[in-house]
Amino acid sequence: MKSGMLAAEAAFGVLQDGSNMESYWEKLKKSWVWEELRKARNYRPAFDYGLIPGLAISALEHYILRGRAPVTLRHGKPDHEAMDPAKLHSPIQYSKPDGVLSFDVPTSLYRSNTNHEHDQPPHLHLRDPTIPELVNMPEYAGPETRYCPARVYEYVPDEKGQLKLHINAQNCLHCKACDIKDPKQNIEWTVPEGGGGPGYSVM
């Protein structure tokens, strides 16, 4: 959220004085966001070397080096290539929302203050409209219905009973998980109309 505010401030500066968006990077590098991300940059890729080496490297980073490691470890492969076929796993039974700390999707969406004009052009597109039914559902059990936090993607039976992907773009929270995670990189996320999307307040 802080990085979003920094981007907004930098964009405002560009509009006001004609500078360029490099000021965003300068502000970001001087902020606590950069410091925090830099300290944590090697935690996840360390586990590409296995559980024990991952724990050892993470502990070294966390307790001793604290972001001063001379190298930045790389992830082995992009997220969308890390998805396994559904047949290799059992479905996860998630506990129901308790209404105190966890909430159902409609309640969470309402609280996110998401607000799109109902007639704005859709900002989510499928590069190949056949991939969801030919690949995503049979091979990966429709992962977009689970990783999307806003239930934007639903498989709905058509008049012949065939499951078809339905996209509720107006619910999108702009997290871009679908852009990153779709196994065939078939979802094209474009910038939505300005002024919409989730809102937040600064206390």
Q: List interacting residues with ligand SF4 (CB under 6 A).
A: 124, 148-150, 152, 172-178, 189
Say which residues have a Cβ less than 8 Å from residue 203's Cβ, sequence separation at least 6.
Answer: none
CB of 178 to ligand SF4, least distance (A): 3
Smaller CB distance to ligand SF4: residue 25 or 200? Answer: 200
CB of 37 to ligand SF4, least distance (A): 20
Q: How many helices (H) and strands (E) does the chain have?
A: 10, 4
Smaller CB distance to ligand SF4: residue 12 or 110? Answer: 110
Residue type (1 letter), 48 = D
Decide: 115 and 197 in contact? Cβ < 8 Å.
yes
Smaller CB distance to ligand SF4: residue 13 or 196? Answer: 196
Residue the block writes with tokens 């492969």: 77
Maximal CA-CA distance, the chain: 62
CB of 194 to ligand SF4, least distance (A): 16
How far is Cα 182 from Cα 184, in angstroms, rounded to an integer?
6
How far is Cα 138 from Cα 132, in angstroms, rounded to an integer?
9
CB of 104 to ligand SF4, least distance (A): 16
Smaller CB distance to ligand SF4: residue 34 or 103? Answer: 103
